[in-house]
């Protein structure tokens, strides 16, 4: 078994095992002594998760011994402080309030890490279900997105099933202090935004590698045309189904302290470490497959973390905020374009005497899902709507409705009114 409890030679590609033994685990003995001597700094980081001491950042980058992760991750993520504020028994009360203590009717649906002996079993699947559904309920969601369930499973794998409540508060701390608040909302808007930021960083700092990997989609963000890219789940799944488990745990050591910027640094580091192999590929399809395989076999976690923090350049908070703002504008423009196509589709479906009303209602719905584009964006949106084929228009409409369910009610009412 590796330090996370997975069989040796495990790589979580779609949750299943493949790969080779891990190497590069932190020297547990000396690291444990260093963390014990830093107890006061850990306590300070737990009390003020927004501003962890520099010493804690350095220790986290060097790695946390596997035996200490179950104790340190709740403190470093800010989850321990949330647990203390909530009071004893808060997790059990949450489970009882939402009826999550009863056995699951579909236990196989929660088997998110089947290669793990504990988490992949019936007891583990039940724990994943409780943890994921409790987190979703605390955020006002009926059901967690799949990546959130995978994160719950990975935390349980590393921390142990006996520390389920600690895993819950660690997850709560991650969502409250280390990841954007809408990262795991129902529409995964926060994760999509960070994925777009990562694409912008890769395109700007590793253009040759990114062009080979992304191909004709090098200049666009996440979308249906990009599903074959090896990076598509790096952000949303926090590398859980991309890197070997031990390497992922080392990434999490840093994530617990420094937050979402760690994901961007690791993405840049992966494209740096494997650039030679990617650039040597021949053919359009070889590069993505090679990068995916190389990432899945990145067993030298020390080299990866070292490259992430010393080999990819500076990555400031202000710089990330600028990229997020730019990506937000791009996403709004894309939403506006898709909504304009949807408005045309509604207008075509409605009778001629009610088309204007349907178009007006659809336009009103459009304004609720996207920031009004600039004049240049408006021209591009109109052109896209004019030139779209009916089939592509319907596909765009479906994607928009899936992403923004609130549009369904508005548009249904508009069409019904037009026909009435």
The reply to whether 403 falls in a domain is yes
Residues 405 and 351 in one domain: yes
In this structure, the number of other CB atoms found within 10 A of the CB of residue 254 comes to 24
The structure's pTM equals 0.78
Averages of pLDDT over runs of 10 residues in the chain (420 residues) are 72 44 56 92 91 94 95 97 96 94 81 87 92 94 93 96 97 96 90 94 95 70 55 92 96 97 98 97 89 96 97 94 93 84 73 50 50 36 43 54 54 50
CA 191, chain centre distance (Å): 5
User: What's the number of domains the chain is made of?
Assistant: 3
What DSSP state is assigned to residue 294?
Answer: H
Cα 77 to Cα 50: distance, rounded to the nearest angstrom: 9
Shared-domain flag, residues 372 and 306: no
pLDDT for residue 97: 94
Whether 147 and 276 map to the same domain: the answer is no
pLDDT at 82: 97
Q: SS3 for 351?
A: coil
* In a shared domain, residues 271 and 370: no
Of 283, 315, 347, the residue at which a domain comes to its end is 315
Rounded to whole angstroms, the Cα distance separating 226 from 220 reads 9
The verdict on residue 253 lying in a domain is: no
Q: How many CA atoms lie within 13 A of 213 on its CB side?
A: 31
Q: Is 74 a member of any domain?
A: yes
Q: Is 300 helix (H, G, I), strand (E, B) or coil?
A: strand
119 and 161 in a single domain? The answer is yes
Residue 200 shares a structural domain with residue 280? yes
On whether residue 145 sits in a domain, the answer given is yes
In a domain, 413, yes or no: yes
User: For the range 377-382, what are the long-range contacts, defined as Cβ-Cβ under 8 Å and sequence gap of 24 or more?
Assistant: 377/333, 377/336, 378/336, 380/333, 380/337, 381/333, 381/336, 381/337, 381/340, 382/340
Q: Which of 137, 159, 178 is the last residue of a domain?
A: 178
Residue-number span of the structural domain to which 268 is assigned: 189-235+260-315
Which pLDDT does position 338 carry in this prediction? Answer: 82
| Cα separation, 279 vs 271, whole angstroms | 10
Beta bridge partners of 13: 16
SS3 percent helix, strand, coil of the chain, rounded to 5, is: 70, 0, 30
* Whole-number Å distance between alpha carbons of 222 and 229: 10
- Together in a domain, 163 and 229: no
Question: What single-letter DSSP state applies at residue 38?
Answer: T
Q: Where are the alpha helices (DSSP H) in 28-178?
A: 28-37, 39-47, 54-62, 66-77, 79-86, 90-97, 122-138, 146-159, 164-173
Q: Are residues 174 and 215 in the same domain?
A: no
127 and 65 share one domain: yes
Q: Are residues 51 and 164 in the same domain?
A: yes
If you compute the radius of gyration of the chain from its CA atoms, what whole number of angstroms results? 23
Q: How far is CA 185 from each of CA 52, 119, 148, 211, 399, rounded to the nearest angstrom?
A: 26, 24, 9, 30, 17
Rounded CA gap, 197 and 330, in Å?
A: 11
CA 408 from chain center: how many Å?
26
Distance CA 336, CA 152 (A): 34
Q: Which residues pair with 16 in a beta bridge?
A: 13
pLDDT at 367: 53
* Residue 36 near residue 236, CB atoms below 8 Å: no
Beta bridge partners of 23: 300
Residue 77 CA to residue 291 CA, distance in Å, equals: 30
């Amino acid at each position: 078994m590796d330090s996370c409890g997975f069989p040796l030679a495990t790589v979580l590609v779609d949750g299943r095992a493949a790969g080779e033994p891990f190497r590069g685990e932190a020297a547990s003995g000396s690291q444990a002594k260093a963390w014990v001597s830093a107890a006061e700094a850990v306590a300070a980081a737990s009390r003020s998760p927004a501003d962890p001491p520099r010493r804690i950042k350095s220790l986290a980058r060097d790695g946390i011994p596997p035996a200490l992760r179950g104790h340190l991750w709740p403190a470093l993520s800010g989850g321990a402080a949330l647990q203390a504020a909530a009071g004893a028994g808060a997790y059990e009360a949450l489970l009882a309030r939402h009826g999550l203590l009863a056995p699951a009717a579909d236990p196989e649906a929660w088997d998110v890490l089947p290669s793990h002996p504990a988490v992949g079993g019936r007891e583990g699947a039940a724990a994943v279900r409780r943890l994921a559904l409790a987190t979703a309920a605390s955020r006002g969601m009926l059901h967690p997105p799949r990546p959130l369930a995978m994160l719950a499973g990975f935390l349980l794998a590393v921390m142990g099933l006996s520390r389920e409540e600690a895993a819950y508060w660690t997850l709560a701390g991650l969502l409250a202090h280390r990841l954007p608040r809408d990262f795991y909302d129902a529409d995964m808007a926060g994760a999509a935004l960070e994925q777009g930021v990562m694409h912008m960083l890769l395109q700007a700092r590793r253009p040759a590698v990114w062009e080979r990997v992304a191909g004709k989609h090098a200049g666009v963000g996440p979308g249906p045309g990009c599903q074959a890219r090896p990076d598509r789940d790096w952000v949303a799944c926090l590398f859980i189904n991309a890197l070997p488990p031990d390497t992922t745990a080392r990434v999490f050591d840093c994530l617990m302290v420094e937050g979402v910027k760690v994901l961007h640094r690791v993405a840049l580091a992966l494209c740096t470490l494997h650039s030679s192999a990617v650039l040597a590929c021949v053919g359009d399809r070889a590069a993505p497959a090679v990068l995916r395989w190389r990432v899945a076999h990145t067993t030298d976690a020390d080299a990866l973390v070292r490259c992430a923090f010393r080999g990819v350049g500076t990555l400031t908070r202000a710089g990330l905020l600028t990229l997020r703002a730019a990506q937000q504008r791009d996403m709004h423009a894309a939403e506006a374009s898709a909504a304009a196509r949807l408005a045309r589709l509604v207008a075509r479906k409605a009778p001629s005497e009610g088309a204007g009303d349907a178009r007006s209602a659809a336009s009103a719905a459009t304004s609720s899902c996207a920031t009004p584009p600039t004049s240049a964006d408006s021209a591009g949106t109109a052109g896209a709507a004019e030139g779209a084929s009916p089939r592509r228009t319907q596909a765009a409409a479906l994607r928009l409705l899936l992403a923004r369910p609130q549009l369904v009610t508005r548009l249904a009412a508009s069409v019904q009114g037009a026909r009435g």
